[in-house]
Structure 1
Amino acid sequence: MFDSRPDRSAEVVLVGRSNVGKSTLMRELTGHTFDTGQRPGVTRQPNHYDWNAEDFVLTDLPGFGFMKGVPDEVREEIKDDIVAYLETYAEQILVAVLVVDGKAVIDIIDRHSGPDEIPHDVEMFHFLRDMGIPVVVAVNKMDKVPDRDERLDALCDRLGLLPPWKQWQETIAPITAKRGSIDPMTEAVRHHLHEQQRDDLFTFF
């Protein structure tokens, strides 16, 4: 289990598969560069970023799902640790940002949908919501997606949200973290912070 978390009562977490751009997004939000490897699964522990004067921490959790060269049992262990972390701190987590790769997410979900299998992204989305944690799905790398609205509608459909996606702008946020184009996500996060009377945290988003 991860045990490096600073003692803070308010938290926003980034979750998602390996290589979807969570660390890039973290850098955009904090201005701070974290160690990221070229290989998926390099981040095995959470990256926490906290501001000493504030009772708030931003956490980038390790990537889950398939990782090249990482044994199945290690992958399962990481996923179990992520789930345990989210369950442990659910009360303190104000918003979870589920980062997905806009170009690949539909194919990945469809490839893993079957009678005995729920795709990780869909499972995580519902798991977070079931725990009462507001979720923003940051659909990253949108600069590489030509059929934008169609792709976002399809993602809503897979997540059990009725398309069109534009009616879910507090939940679905198309971004390109590498280019610093993350406004739809920060607006969605602010919406959920406001709902919880935490406008004081807007300075971080």
Structure 2
Amino acid sequence: MFEDRPDRDEIVLVGRSNVGKSTLMRELTGHTKFTTGKKPGVTRSPNHFDWAPESFMFTDLPGFGFMSGVESHTQDAIQTDIVRYIEENADDILAAVLVVDGKSVIDIIDRHTTEDSIPHDVEMFYFLDELDIPTVVAVNKMDKVGDRDERLNDLCDRLGLFPPWKQWRETIAPITAKRGDISNLTEALRTHLHDQQRDDLFKFL
């Protein structure tokens, strides 16, 4: 399901199921073909949206972690495919957007943190860093979060970033994709593109 990738530079969206990746993809591209749904696991293979003349695309990768109605071995296989996709295409990935649910991410991380395991979100953040892929954590659904600064500071702490979050604006981007409030993310992505001398792609953000 991960075959036939177009040969071009890309920005990838990764994250747990049902955190709003596909909604964010629609917002970034203005394209409505991306399937969204309340049931986790709607996206099972990469969704590419590309501009052929520009040799650039956004890619919405399948959600990882728990998926309602999906057997655990299938969930594991999807996660393995995501990791392999990112590893194999790391040289062409200009930036990664790790999407998390601002309302629940701290509880999820804390619930899955043990002496023997690291939560998927944190593991993915470290994995992208190891591959030297510039990463922005898009903290979605912030319209549902009351203690905004406290929540974002807690997230920095869980990711190994020294709070306060406002010193990490190139890495932590509070957004509400459903309302079209993604300016923090686009500004962070522009910073990373500029660092790679790809200002020509600003028009897509």
Task: Specify the TM-score bucket, using the shorter chain as the normaliser.
Answer: over 0.9
Alignment of 1:66-85 (within 5 A): 66-85=66-85
Tell me the matched-pair count. 204
Separation in 1 of the partners of 2:91 and 2:29? 23
Matched with 2:93 is 93
Q: Is there any run of 5+ residues in structure 2 with no aligned partner, and where?
A: none
Tell whether the 8 Å contact from 1:40 to 1:67 is kept in structure 2 after alignment: yes
Q: What's the RMSD between the two structures over aligned residues?
A: 0.8
Amino acid corresponding to residue 30 of structure 1 in structure 2: T
The normalised TM-score by structure 2 is 0.98
| Aligned: 1:126 with 2:126 | yes
| Aligned: 1:32 with 2:31 | yes
The normalised TM-score by structure 1 is 0.98
Alignment of 1:45-60 (within 5 A): 45-60=45-60
Following superposition, the deviation at residue 36 of structure 1 comes to: 2.3
Matched with 2:10 is 11
Alignment of 1:88-167 (within 5 A): 88-167=88-167
Following superposition, the deviation at residue 125 of structure 1 comes to: 0.2
Matched with 2:173 is 173
Tell whether the 8 Å contact from 1:44 to 1:78 is kept in structure 2 after alignment: yes
Separation in 2 of the partners of 1:32 and 1:180? 13
Residues 55-113 of structure 1: CA deviation (Å, up to 9, x unaligned): 10110000000111111100000000000000000000010000000000000000000
Separation in 2 of the partners of 1:38 and 1:113? 26
Amino acid corresponding to residue 64 of structure 2 in structure 1: F
Q: Is there any run of 5+ residues in structure 1 with no aligned partner, and where?
A: none
Matched with 2:62 is 62
Secondary structure at 1:59 match in 2: strand
Separation in 1 of the partners of 2:168 and 2:202? 21
Separation in 2 of the partners of 1:141 and 1:51? 28
Residues 125-145 of structure 1: CA deviation (Å, up to 9, x unaligned): 000000000100000000000
Separation in 1 of the partners of 2:137 and 2:114? 22
Amino acid corresponding to residue 115 of structure 1 in structure 2: E
Separation in 1 of the partners of 2:42 and 2:132? 29
Following superposition, the deviation at residue 37 of structure 1 comes to: 3.3
Tell whether the 8 Å contact from 1:37 to 1:43 is kept in structure 2 after alignment: no
